[in-house]
């Protein structure tokens, strides 16, 4: 059976470093024994007395008597806590950005005869040099509340054409998602004609905001 390893941060009673008046000698000595900078690679150590069963690997350290990033079997954390009551043992927790799901059409507008169908062609280009932006995902809704609309990808000319069926059906909402180098875009209400939209080139120093302009 494979042992599940978990990462923890070992800390003195307060702060990040076992300075005088904050940490007792035993805790300071223990943290000093875990300093990984003595070698070029993390080393396996045994905590506490020579009979200790707690084995861990030191991955990083902020100071020789400071906080340590270690890896050890998850079930042995309680054993280490019992052996080193003066040490705070904090499990590493990873946080990830909350990303809202992209809006996706659930159904398409009702079909109609070709003579009365509404066709809209969009062209997405770079604001900086006017070059077409290929492979951008375009999501167009005729009824956003009911998620009625269509989705597609721009071609090598930066163009995409939608056939929305019944004539004189105005778009309710439009999204453009570029794969890289450009800000994404949201527009509410949209004219029923071929439009040329410019997608702002991403700039690390520019504010993060919608960047499509006619």
- Residues 13-24 pLDDT 10s: 888 888 877 788
Could you give the CA distance from residue 35 to residue 31 in angstroms, rounded to a whole number? 7
Contacts of 141 (CB under 8 A, 6+ apart): 103, 105, 147, 148, 149, 171, 172, 173, 174
- Tally the residues of the chain: 214
5-91: what fold?
Answer: Alpha-Beta Plaits (3.30.70)
Q: Convert the pLDDT of each residue in 63-122 to its tens digit.
A: 888 899 999 998 889 989 988 888 999 999 988 877 778 888 888 776 554 455 667 788
Could you give the CA distance from residue 5 to residue 69 in angstroms, rounded to a whole number? 13
Could you give the CA distance from residue 75 to residue 22 in angstroms, rounded to a whole number? 28
Q: Which CATH number fits domain 119-213: 3.40.50.150, 2.60.40.1120, 3.40.640.10, 3.20.20.10?
A: 2.60.40.1120
- Under a CB-based contact definition with an 8 Å cutoff, are residues 174 and 133 in contact? no
pTM of the model: 0.51
Average pLDDT, the chain: 76
Give the domain ranges of the chain. 5-91, 119-213
Q: Pick from 113, 110, 87: which is nearest to 32 by CA?
A: 87
């Amino acid at each position: 059976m494979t042992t599940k390893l978990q990462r923890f941060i070992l800390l003195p009673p307060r702060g990040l470093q076992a300075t005088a008046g904050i940490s007792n000698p035993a805790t300071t000595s223990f943290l000093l024994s875990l300093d990984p900078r003595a070698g070029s690679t993390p080393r396996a150590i045994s905590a506490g007395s020579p009979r200790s069963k707690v084995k861990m690997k030191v991955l990083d350290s902020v100071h020789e008597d400071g906080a340590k990033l270690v890896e050890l079997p998850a079930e042995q954390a309680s054993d280490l806590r019992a052996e080193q009551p003066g040490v705070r043992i904090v499990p590493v927790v990873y946080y990830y950005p909350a990303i809202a799901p992209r809006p996706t059409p659930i159904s398409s507008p009702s079909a109609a005869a070709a003579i009365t169908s509404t066709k809209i062609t969009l062209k997405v280009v770079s604001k900086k040099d006017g070059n077409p932006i290929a492979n951008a995902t375009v999501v167009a809704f005729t009824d956003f509340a009911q998620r009625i609309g269509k989705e597609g990808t721009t071609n090598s000319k930066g163009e995409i054409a939608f056939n929305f069926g019944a004539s004189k059906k105005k778009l309710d909402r439009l999204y453009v998602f570029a794969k890289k180098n450009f800000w994404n875009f949201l527009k509410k209400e949209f004219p029923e004609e071929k439009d040329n939209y410019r997608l702002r080139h991403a700039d690390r120093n520019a504010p993060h905001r919608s960047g499509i302009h006619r």
